[in-house]
A and B are shown apart, each in its own frame.
Chain A
């Protein structure tokens, strides 16, 4: 009977240690990232923002929302409406920074299209098409990225021939590797991952991001 209680107590102690350790580790990690965010809040030299990054918003309240995304990632496409809604409501207060984590077969190709669209000022429209048609061009086991041209040609005011030409010549190796290194630095392993002034969003919903943004506004 005595032995049994030793067994149960030791199991309990080990499990408690596990949770305490997890809590301490996570806390330590997020405070490290938080410090990094404070130290780099005004610069564009990473790890949150780079000079090459696509940035939206007026940023009147100095709130940097960073999203790591992958154009071929299903969760990112699913998540897009939420982040769009956040941006629509807070574009005066925040700046929204797009970073890439190209983890899929055709991610690089899609990023090339996105980056090439910037000279024509059609980034948002292109991103929207890429996400809304994702299930057609990025079907599992049967990806057909060439379909994107057909979908993109419907965007008003987009010179598709110029875009094709730009895509064939653009070099994004450097950009992607910088984004990847920054992601590793911030312990981002999957997409979408969102940071609000260095705080990683645990709840990836519209409400989750809004709460973080609001808490920065009324800090």
Chain B
């Protein structure tokens, strides 16, 4: 395995870990209740931390295969959720039945940085890093 690709795996790992701990901070420390969409994005983000961590300790050249499907599904939910937050898709089609509506905005920095946006950024970064892992091989 080339050196550059392990750097990109490391960067992906860092982003996934920050995203995981960050989402836990929002829900467990700040007591924001995660909506359904947020849960789906969490489900596909958390295992990335473990998969990438193990790969960094015991490198093989197949990590792209294991990690990319998770990223793609998570990215799909993140894009969908962001379209929702920016009102491109109306709330009525959201599969949120009970609890917190997925268009609830817990905080907003600079007019566009909210939690789903952070999720989208994380998934996009990991997506790009993993493409580089594939290319660098």
Contact = CB atoms under 8 A, between A and B. Distances in A.
A187 B31 CA distance: 8
Interface of B: 6, 10, 13-14, 17-18, 21, 24-25, 28-31, 33, 53, 56-57
Contacts of A4: 56-57
B25 A18 contact: yes
Contacts of B53: 7, 11
A11 B17 contact: yes
Given A11-B17, A11-B53, 16 more contacts: A3-B6, A7-B13, A7-B56, A7-B57, A10-B10, A10-B17, A14-B14, A14-B17, A14-B18, A15-B21, A17-B21, A18-B24, A18-B25, A22-B29, A25-B30, A187-B31
Nearest to B3: A3
Given A3-B56, A4-B56, A189 B14 contact: no
A211 to B, nearest CB: 23
Interface residues of A, number: 17
Main secondary structure of the interface of A (DSSP, over half): helix
A18 B24 CA distance: 9
A12 to B, nearest CB: 11
A22 B14 CA distance: 19
Contacts of B10: 3, 6-7, 10
A21 B25 contact: yes
A35 interface: no
